[in-house]
A and B are shown apart, each in its own frame.
Chain A
Amino acid sequence: MLSRLVFLPASALKSSGSLGAGLVQAGRCLHTSPQTQAPVPPLPEKSGKVRHGFIPEEFFQFLYPKTGVTGPYVLGTGLTLYMLSKEIYVINHETFAALSVGAVLIYAVKKFGPGIAAFADKLNDEKAAKVQEVKDVAVKSLTQAIDDEKKEQWRVEGRNMLFDAKRNNVAMLLETNYRERLHMVTNEVKKRLDYQIQLQNLHQRLEREHMVDWVEKNVVKSITPQQEKESIAKCIADLKVLAKNTQAKASL
């Protein structure tokens, strides 16, 4: 029993120093060597192996070299017979009560034991899984956060591109403006020269038309009334001839 105290950490021992008068005095420090500060070994999964429910396997191994496989059973049988025959154990009505209760208990354990054990294990496993999930989620979110921070740092490095783009925009605007000005100047000069040419053309056209009108007017004026009468008479004679010709053609 005292050996189990080895596995308790020193602080728990110190705090429970007021118990057990048989244990050490409160002033002395126990278990301060590095051996006892070592971490607790993990608890075993299964209990020690037993045969027939209550006899440890080590007992059989202990007797095996001297008495072989049947040793413990012979010992057990011999002891039982000795107890019964010498009446060290007296058979009375309690014996039958014990036997009946024992039978029922053994039957119940054999039937329902594994099921209940599995249920209890499941409860435990669920608790463990929940706690493990907490840890996994925490680890995942931390690694994700670290990755995100690194990505943001990489993004910051690209900030110069924004200012390059802005400067480019400004330069483009200036250049465009300058070119527009040049074009405007050239166009305006061209327009003025073209206007002069158009103006000249207009003048020439007006002069030409005026001259033609004037010549026409003079010619008309120069036609005498006598000439006019003669030309009209000739036109009428021509028309009569034409009419006669067409009438002749139509009647044919």
Chain B
Amino acid sequence: MSGRRAALKAIDWVSFAERVPPNQKSLFNALKTRSDGLAARLASLPEKPATIDWSYYRRAVAKSGLVDEFEKKFAALKVPEPVDTQTSKIGTQEQEASKSAVAYIQESKARIDVYEKELEKFKNMIPYDQMTIEDLNSVFPETKLDKVKHPYWPHKPIAEL
């Protein structure tokens, strides 16, 4: 009897939908339709089954002991609850997702640091019209001409002019 009344958590589908990235929208829609279908099925079934009017049947059926026997057996019958096999699996999935989420957030933070460093470099750069070639080479090392490898002007292969 303990597992039967597992309260259904109210899910805010709107805010859930906001957090879904665009490439997983179809999966989200499939999940939502499935959940809605299940909810509809659940709502269509009444909670308690229809009660059997034993007195009417006792009067109507001629056989004497039949109705009483049925009533006794019916009251003694216990319908077994269906066994829950999936919840533990969902729990392990959730933990794995948490771990991978933490790892992803770390990587994301590292990426943000790299981007912010680049942004600082651009923000603190001196304006182009006050730069000399040395300043340009210090800000953008890829513009430095290799005078050792190509000692003669233009200090880079002709194809790259």
Contacts and interface: CB of A to CB of B under 8 A. Distances in A.
A and B form one complex: yes
A40 B128 contact: no
Interface SS of chain A: helix, strand, loop or mixed? helix
A9 B138 CA distance: 14
Interface of B: 3-4, 6, 8-9, 11-12, 15-16, 18-21, 31, 34-35, 38-39, 41-42, 45-50, 52, 57, 60-63, 66-67, 70, 74, 77, 79-82, 84, 86-87, 90, 93-94, 97-98, 101, 104-105, 108-109, 111-112, 115-116, 118-119, 122-123, 125-126, 128-130, 132, 134
A170 B94 contact: no
A157 interface: yes
Nearest to A196: B61
Interface string A6-43: 00010110000000000000000000000000011011
Given A142-B122, A169-B34, A196-B63, A149 B112 contact: yes
13 contacts: A43-B129, A146-B116, A149-B115, A152-B108, A157-B19, A158-B16, A168-B8, A170-B86, A174-B81, A178-B79, A181-B79, A181-B82, A185-B49
Contact of A146 (B74, B115, B129): B115
Contacts of A146: 112, 115-116, 119
A203 to B, nearest CB: 9
A197 interface: yes
Q: Which 3 A-B pairs have the closest CB atoms?
A: A158-B19, A186-B49, A163-B94
A174 B84 contact: yes
B123 A9 contact: no
A187 to B, nearest CB: 8
Given A158-B16, A174-B82, A193 B57 contact: yes
Given A159-B101, A168-B8, A186-B52, 12 more contacts: A135-B125, A139-B122, A146-B112, A149-B115, A152-B108, A172-B38, A172-B42, A185-B49, A185-B77, A186-B50, A197-B61, A200-B62
A197 B49 contact: no
Given A149-B115, A200-B62, A154 B19 contact: yes
A237 interface: no
A170 B79 contact: no
Of B19, B57, B80, B108, most A-chain CB atoms within 10 Å = B19
Contacts of B57: 193, 197
Interface string A35-69: 00001101100000000000000000000000000
A70 to B, nearest CB: 41
Nearest to A139: B122
Interface of A: 9, 11-12, 39-40, 42-43, 128, 131-132, 135, 138-139, 142-143, 145-146, 149-150, 152-183, 185-187, 189-190, 192-193, 196-197, 200
A170 to B, nearest CB: 5
A193 B67 CA distance: 8
Contacts of B8: 168, 171-172
B19 A161 contact: yes
A90 B105 CA distance: 89
Contacts of A11: 134
Contacts of A200: 60-62
Contacts of A145: 111, 115
A11 to B, nearest CB: 7
